[in-house]
Amino acid sequence: MVIWIIGLSGSGKSFYAKKLAKFFKKNKNKKVFVIDGDEVRKFITYKLKYSISDRKQNSLVISDLCRYLEFKGYIVICPILSIFRSHQKRNRKLFKKYLQIYIDVPIAELRKRNNKKIYSKKNVVGKDINFPDPYKSDLILKNTFSNDYKKNLKKILKLINA
């Protein structure tokens, strides 16, 4: 199974991915692998920049990595920007079981919070690059950055039937 968690930078993708991974390891004794888009860029596709072309290439590398790990029997959780609807469509065909979760946070809120100082940089998705509505998300979560995350986590687990 591949759980693709998408949203803008700072929306909480990695936070939810870590919570889900912890749940699967602790409660289901499953092999889980989190493929964080930021980490892939840091260790694997580090030569790529942030142009649209490089972003497409990075996205495809991440999909291929997810495919390999799914083949090896892992539950793969992938927090990633995922701005290409064509790649989201491709994922639905590529993986045996694919769930797409969109974490929706207003860009104004993310710019105000700017935790990683992302929105102070150039070539940023949501600021300089359009973030299109995702293609057929299985679940859309509103993240208010409060203790409501437990309710959102329950919604994810219900979707997964865990």
How far is Cα 11 from Cα 58, in angstroms, rounded to an integer?
Answer: 20
Show the tokens assigned to 113.
């919070």
The domain that holds 42 is classified in CATH as 3.40.50.300
Closest CA relative to residue 106, chosen from 135, 137, 131: 131
Total number of domains constituting the chain: 1
Structural domain including 67 reads 2-160
Q: What is the pLDDT of residue 123?
A: 80
The pLDDT of residue 14 is 92
Cα 35 to Cα 44, 68, 75, 119, 121: the distances in Å are 11, 12, 11, 23, 24
**How far is the C-alpha of 124 from the C-alpha of 131, rounded, in Å?**
10
Residue with tokens 């986590």: 153
Residues of the chain with pLDDT under 70: 162
Indicate the SS3 state at residue 104.
strand
pLDDT single digits (tens) 120-159: 888 888 888 888 889 999 999 988 777 778 888 889 989 9
Q: Would you state the pLDDT for residue 162? A: 57
Q: DSSP character for 139?
A: E
- Count of C-beta atoms within a 10 Å radius of residue 64: 11
What is the model's pLDDT at position 32?
94
Joined together, the tokens standing for residue 66 give 């997810």
Provide the 8-state DSSP code for 134. P
Neighbours of 121 (CB within 10 A): 12
